[in-house]
Amino acid sequence: MAVPVEQRSAATPGRTSAWVRNQMRNIAPFATLLCLVVFFTLASSSFATLDNLANILTQISVTGIMAVGLTFVILCGEIDLSVAAIANATGIVVAYFTAQDTYVNIANLPLPGAVAILLGLLACAALGLVNALGLTLIGIPSFIMTLAMMQIGAGISALLVRGQIAYAVPSLVTTLGSGSIHGVPWIVLLLAVFLLVAHVVLGYTRFGRYVYMVGGNREAAEYSGVSVKTILNAVLIISAVCSGVAGMVGVAHFGSAQQNEFDTYLLDSIAAVVVGGTSLFGGRGGIGNTIVGLFVLGVLNNGLDHIQIDSFLKILIRGLILLAALVINVYAQRLRDAEARTGG
């Protein structure tokens, strides 16, 4: 075993730079996060506190649960633009089947809480299934299919609440969305569970391996006998269910269910996945990247509130950060491709 070790040490400079190039998509987001934390810590005394960390964690929870599902989809080289609309529709479905206060004028259908939650989960899974069939059975590109679903989700929401605002959701949902245990918000724990389960599924199960392989080289996966369509169906349903759960607890978290409630979450959840370094072309990245991406967005959104800055400028700054992340993402892919061509 001495020989390989010797070879490795002899080739160290080349190897290190190759490693850096290969890990660019993991290093860059982390470096971004560190820079933001250092900057906001220096710029504001109220930023680097435990209380504020709890704030950030709570603020990224709803986005985070959606981003977990999106990670699966983007790892397969597809996209789901309907996550926010499905979240909104699912939140409203749950409220629709819950007894509302008398002053809320929704012709709703009160059912036991467990049934309402179940119906909500079924609803989002069904919408995910429609996405999946559009992509794999009919062959509509996911970008267009989920764009249509975005409108359908918004339509379902509009029909059910008819411009009203519903406040009541089942008590389990209320607890998860706005309660806390020993000072830790349930919604943060829920996010942690989602991240953990997704990480285990992606890294340690056969299904997870197939997700990476389908994203890495779809044709090769197909020629290996992997049922690419099954995998694509599964990731779109997973994404929709994650969105649905995010929508339910989101409604409790915000305290109301209404039209267009989640609109900003589409961009945030996609941004979290991509800023974290998961390849838009599929096959590279994972939950670790999504966590970093969530923190980048969370720290940025939160930190900008701690420093004196024009609140209208914040939107522009977020856009610029996202652009920078996209540049790095595509650039990292190109480095990798170049590496693959030269044979390393």
Question: What is d(CA 273, CA 189) in angstroms, rounded to the nearest whole number?
Answer: 20
Contacting residues for 297 by C-beta, under 8 A, at least 6 apart: 60, 63, 268, 271, 272, 275, 318
Q: Is 1 in the site for another protein (CB under 8 A)?
A: no
Q: Which of 227, 256, 259, 301 binds another protein (CB under 8 A)?
A: 227
Phi and psi at 167, nearest 5°, equal -115, -30
Q: Which of 16, 17, 205, 260 binds another protein (CB under 8 A)?
A: 205
Question: What is d(CA 128, CA 290) in angstroms, rounded to the nearest whole number?
Answer: 21
Q: Is 21 in the site for another protein (CB under 8 A)?
A: no
Residue nearer to another protein on the CB measure, 4 or 183: 4
Q: Is 340 in the site for another protein (CB under 8 A)?
A: yes
Contacting residues for 99 by C-beta, under 8 A, at least 6 apart: 108, 110, 168
Contact stretch for another protein (CB under 8 A) within 145-153, 172-180, 189-197, 336-344: 336-344
Q: Is 166 in the site for another protein (CB under 8 A)?
A: no
CA 321 → CA 31, 59, 297, 316, distances in Å?
13, 18, 9, 9
CB 254 within 8 A of CB 91: no
**Contact set for another protein, span 273-292 (CB under 8 A):** 283-284
The residues pairing with 257 across neighbouring beta strands, listed in sequence order, are 166
Q: Which of 183, 219, 311, 312 binds another protein (CB under 8 A)?
A: 219
Question: What is d(CA 59, CA 190) in angstroms, rounded to the nearest whole number?
Answer: 13
Q: Which of 226, 267, 280, 317 binds another protein (CB under 8 A)?
A: 226
The least CB distance from residue 182 to another protein, in Å, is: 33
Q: Is 344 in the site for another protein (CB under 8 A)?
A: yes
Q: Would you tell me which residues interact with another protein (CB under 8 A)? A: 4, 204-210, 212-213, 216-217, 219-227, 229-230, 283-284, 336, 339-340, 343-344
